[in-house]
Structure 1
Amino acid sequence: MPRVVVTFPEGKFKVLTMSYDDGREADRQLVGIFNQYGIKGTFHLNGGLFDTPGRLSQSETGSLYQGHEVSAHTFTHPTIARSPKEQLVEEFVEDRKQLEDIVHYPVRGLSYPNGSFNRQIKEMLPFLGIDYARTVHSTKSFAMPDDWMEWNPTCHHNKDLMKLAEEFVGLYKSQYLYMMYVWGHSYEFDQDQNWDLIETFCEFIGNRGDIWYATNIEIVDYLKAFQNLRFSASSRFVYNPSVQSVWLNVDGQIVEVKGGTQVDLI
């Protein structure tokens, strides 16, 4: 039986993802920095708060975030653990509807507004079309999540960002998968007058050949595609029923299993 483990695309074992909330005007500058250094971000927006002071206009949103992911953040940004479930349904669904009218793809992610959530909310989300939800509980680690509805980030950008980036870049043990997940609010760079922090970080960590730069939903979809692979009992061959490719390390060799194909592994 061959030894088979999943890798990220093209055999990579490290992924970087960025996550920013609220759709503030400073997102324009942040998106420009990400684009310059080949970094992808997920931007969690409130569909009911466009065109209010300090926030983006609805008309520019679709074009601004091209190449990145637009995700939900509730319609009006309430503290949802204190809200009745009837209001929660409206907050999540109306936010998705508003955002999907703008970006023209299903909005399937969420970050919890004010970091607020509970078990009941986590259990509701899959029935409302949400495939993952991010918390504000930083782990300072590079571990992959084991609960998509309680996805804890590595760090806020104001907490040891460059120290963690240097650790992440230096990781070399390819028997593991590593994820660096940074979150925050773009307006904080204006408040703290530290745009140089995120630009230095992106210049340092961006455009590297051994890192996969992905949005939140791309990571979710990729790992679910791996889970959906159909291996023979002997692991001698595998069928991929998904549309997207999945890469495997088979006895030290990188094998791409394209969507809709069956591949012999030995």
Structure 2
Amino acid sequence: MSYASYEKEFYGQRALITGGTQGMGLAIVKRLAGAGATVLTTARNKPANYNIPNVHFVQADIMKPEGTQAIVDAVKEKLGGIDILINTVGGSSSPAGGALALTEEHWLEELNLNLLGSVRLDRNLLPLMLEQGRGVIIHISSIQRVLPLYESTLAYAAAKAALTTYSKGLSNEFAPQGIRVNTIAPGFIQTEAANRLIDRLAVTAGSRETALKLLMDSLGGIPFGRPGMPEEVAELAAFLASDRAAAIHGSEYVIDGGTVPTV
């Protein structure tokens, strides 16, 4: 079936996509809105000229309870309910240097951003899904949950591992009540942030091509030969959010070009 066949697939659906102003989040926003969904997205800051048809925006920080409440209020006001929740917010700002370089504050920040922000939103929005007897929740995890980079992103990897485990438990509890919960575990995706990192590395590496190869080699290589693109993650998210995936519950889908070397 062609992509065009799905252009109205989400007509009448109401979706909340966190972190939808850049990278994978933005690609998912465009994909679902382009297929007919009414979308609400969030970020700590709204970019200039952010204007996508069928997309509402609320400025909020999911790391704070008051940010969660602002998002929940916006879901009720702007969407009138929710059918699809996709938690894409995540990242790491901890310093390099291994486990002993991480302070209590670093650990709490990584857990709050990569795990607890999603937990808060789920806890507040699940009752709306339960009332209507249906809903889809997708969490964006990471292949680092099985390939932790201890030198630089150990706390991030641990938080994503917890997110995947939490998602599985959530699915087991709510699948009988019509709620589907799944996770997506991306590998190296060439987002705006990745491009900025490549540009910085290229200064010493000599070229962007060399810098990109160094990054892929640091992951153990990507058999596919290139990073994934945000739009490719968005296609996977659209499939999992759709009725085509009605029998898929409690699963994690890896999209990493073959980076993870195990079955």
If the length of structure 2 is used for normalisation, what is the TM-score? 0.35
In our comparison, the structure showing a higher alpha carbon Rg is 1
Higher helix proportion, which one? Answer: 2
Q: Which has the higher strand share?
A: 1
TM-score, with length taken from structure 1: 0.35
Greater RCO structure (CA 8 Å; 6+ sep): 1
